[in-house]
Amino acid sequence: MENNTTIFQDVARVVNLTEMPMNPLEEQVITIFLTLLICGVGIAGNIMVVLVVMRTKHMVTPTNCYLVSLAVADLIVLLAAGLPNISDVVAFWVYGYTGCLCITYLQYLGINVSSCSITAFTIERYIAICHSIKAQFICTVSRAKRIIAGVWIFTSLYCTMWFFLVDTDETVYINGVVVNCGYRVSRSLYMPIYFLDFTLFYVVPLAVATVLYGLIARILFMSPLPSHLSDGTGGGSVHQGHSNSTNKTNKGAVTARKQITKMLAVVVILFALLWLPYRTLVVVNSLIDPPYTNTWFLLFCRMCIYTNSAINPIIYNLMSQKFRVAFKKLCKCRCGRRQAEYHMPIYYSVMKNSSHGSNEPVTEQEDVSGKPANRFNLTDDDTSQLSISK
């Protein structure tokens, strides 16, 4: 009985096949190194974001809920797109038909949910800054959780179409058979689907972000601050005995509000820039024949996508004192020192029900160890901001 090699050689002589193409060694080494580095950092960072928000009471804010949704989506992208790329560049597709369906579905699910989460926190920031009175009733944690649930349900249903659009195909070579995970439909039929995806989850979110962050910038950075942001009245009375301390606190709250808005704007800008090479490539390839498939440029596009999913926790750590302290506590970087080193008070705004039934925001001072301290009234309605006590 003939062995498989002889069979493949006989088939090759009949249909004039060539040898199985192999990726160059330098491409394999660079791909594996960059993928492991980016995905390792990204997976650890996004897990930390989820943990610090879930385990720290004062971190549970509407904005941070959207950041958790973004972190989970980025984790899915790194696990479903990044790690399978390692085996794919070394030994072609090894996950079979079921893996092709599930991995493709999870890739688009993570990508689309991350885009929707960015749009959601952009709208939340706009309401909190430009309509801060209404934000007390609109921008709540419970509403944020409902919106996030809706985003995941809608995107999960939308992405089910990929179960019907992808399939595995086999190519016979002299020295073996190569299995690839590709599209079931022709290129001409796939393009309308791609452009729909491109419009809904890239063009529209960036257009919304451009308009809303422009309006936010006009309020925070270009125009004199409205009375409810600058004088701390918030539409109510100011306690005269504490006017100086209240004004100082309000100034710190406005500064913190600017800082977190800058941080979220950076997240949006990086999303736009890091997805631009891949999105541009697909648009160009839809217009030219044959498509542009330079190996190194494709590698660059993939690394940009993985970097977009990995870089957000780094941005939070660099631009948010709140996240930085929470990350340090989670990592126990100073485990040999006593908790006294963490007695740096953090002010955060929370809505509490008083005995008089007031909905006025109340600020508590809490150290990182979770022990509550002094309480005083604060009229800044932005529940996701903080200011560090001097």
Chain CA centroid to CA 68, Å: 8
Q: What's the start-to-end Cα distance of the chain, in Å?
A: 84
Q: Measured between alpha carbons, how far is 200 from 206 in angstroms, rounded to an integer?
A: 10
Partners of 362 in the beta sheet? 350, 377
pLDDT score at 114: 96
Give the model confidence (pLDDT) of 176-200 as tens digits: 777 888 888 777 777 888 889 999 9
What token pair was written down for 196? 């729909």
Domain boundaries, the chain: 13-231+263-351
Task: Return the residue matching tokens 């901001």.
Answer: 385
What is the full DSSP assignment across 238-249?
Answer: --GGGHHHHHHH
Q: Measured between alpha carbons, how far is 321 from 339 in angstroms, rounded to an integer?
A: 18
Give the model confidence (pLDDT) of 19-38 as tens digits: 777 778 888 899 999 999 99
Tell me the C-alpha to C-alpha distance, in Å, between residue 62 and each of 137, 148, 276: 12, 10, 28
What is the full DSSP assignment across 267-291?
Answer: HHHHHHHHHHHHHHHHHHHTTSSSP
CATH class of the domain comprising 13-231+263-351 = mainly alpha
Compute the 3-state secondary structure of the chain and give helix, strand, coil in percent, each to the nearest 5. Answer: 70, 10, 25
Q: Measured between alpha carbons, how far is 45 from 193 in angstroms, rounded to an integer?
A: 33
Q: Measured between alpha carbons, how far is 259 from 63 in angstroms, rounded to an integer?
A: 13
Q: Measured between alpha carbons, how far is 271 from 305 in angstroms, rounded to an integer?
A: 9
pLDDT < 50: residue spans in the chain: 1-2, 4-16, 227-228, 230-242, 334, 336-390
pLDDT score at 35: 94
SS3 224: coil
Order the strands of the 372-377 sheet from edge to edge. 372-377, 362-366, 346-350, 386-388
Q: Is the pTM of this model over 0.95?
A: no
Burial class (CB in 10 A: 0-12, 13-18, 19+), 376: middle
pLDDT score at 62: 93
Q: Measured between alpha carbons, how far is 117 from 264 in angstroms, rounded to an integer?
A: 11
pLDDT score at 251: 64
pLDDT score at 253: 65
Q: Which of 118, 113, 124, 125 is nearest to 150 (CA)?
A: 113
Helix H or strand E encompassing 138: helix 132-138
Amino acid 40 reads G
